[in-house]
Amino acid sequence: MSKKASSVSINTKELIKDFNLPGGEVVNVLTGVDMKIKRGEFIAIMGPSGSGKSTLLNILSTLESITSGEVLVAGINLSETSYKENLEIRRTKTSVVFQNFALIPYLTAKENVKLPMKLRKVPELEAEQKAIEYLESVGLYVRMDHLPEELSGGEQQRVAIARALAHNPAIIFADEPTGNLDTHIGKEIILLFKQLTQEKKITVIMVTHDSENAKEADKILILQKGNLIQEQSKKVAKKTHKKEGNK
Ligand code: ADP
Ligand code: MG
């Protein structure tokens, strides 16, 4: 795996996911998803409730197995990895941001951010410095010694993003990260993700219900009947608009 860093971040071919229900019924959730995401892209995934958005994110973040097809994440073929290897991927290549923030309530903001580095056995001093750096980068330097309950929803989500950065990830998966936030706070979180893709070349795959937030992404993919379809690329749309304006 010492190959040159690929420009492809995620690649799926004919990705199929079925759930077998206890009564013998089979639910076909993903029926052949093909996606190719480049490094540093900011992707919004939309689609009706129950269309399989979380399932897709869970598969890409190695939390859920695939039924068939091919899934490459950061150059790794997920059909070939063991449980232990998946754990390693989640520690070192990817991280997840949830709607409910999922912070550890009895740890301060800084301790929450240090945790993934402690699990990776990063030396204490380095973990401390990095945690402060990540909290600074999400604009939370002054709140770093607070417990989650002493922070607003938007601040808690910023801590969760700082913690996600502590994995030093190539990819961040975010499942409705603004679902519990007021619209204007949600927008700030979206802009933070956008900044991470632009400045740090981190790929962000975000599920959202909010079409205004989705517009900030480089691409909007819509999950419909188990398949992904791409909404007209923003750049194409803008160009067309310009041309018309210049007439
Ligand atoms: P979304 O995030 O788009 O709302 P989900 O990915 O959560 O959708 O769910 C897609 C479909 O898969 C739903 O019909 C849901 O009931 C079903 N599903 C999700 N997880 C499981 C599971 N572990 N077992 C059985 N069915 C599941
Ligand atoms: Mg969901």
**Predicted confidence (pLDDT) per residue in 188-206, tens digit:** 999 999 999 999 999 999 9
Mean pLDDT of 160-171: 95
How far does the centroid of ligand 2 lie from the alpha carbon of residue 3, in Å? 34
> 90: part of which helix (H) or strand (E)?
helix 83-92
Atom number, ligand 1, closest to the C-alpha of residue 58 = 6
Q: Name every protein residue with a CB atom under 6 angstroms from any ligand 1 atom.
A: 19, 21, 27, 29, 47, 49-55
Distance 186 CA to ligand 1 centre (A): 25
**Ligand approaching nearest to the C-alpha of 223:** 1
Q: What's the pTM?
A: 0.90
The predicted model gives 54-75 an average pLDDT of 96
Residue 246's pLDDT is 45
Q: Which two tokens stand for residue 9?
A: 């971040």
Mean pLDDT, range 99-128, rounded to an integer: 96
What is the Å distance from ligand 1's center to 244 Cα? 43
Cα–Cα distances (Å) from 239 to 215, 236, 242, 247, in that order, read: 16, 5, 5, 13
pLDDT of residue 230: 83
CA neighbours within 13 Å on the CB side: how many for 162?
32
Model confidence pLDDT, tens digit, residues 70-112: 999 999 999 999 999 999 999 999 999 999 999 999 999 999 9
* Cα 3 to Cα 74: distance, rounded to the nearest angstrom: 12
Average of per-residue pLDDT across 23-52: 95
The more confident residue out of 35 and 247 is 35
Per-residue pLDDT, 235: 56
Q: Count other Cβ atoms within 10 Å, centred on residue 106.
A: 10
Q: How far is the CA of 205 from the centre of ligand 2 (A)?
A: 13
Nearest-atom index, ligand 1, CA of 57 = 6
Tokens (6 digits) for 79:
């059909």
Are 95 and 132 in contact by the 8 Å Cβ rule? The answer is: no
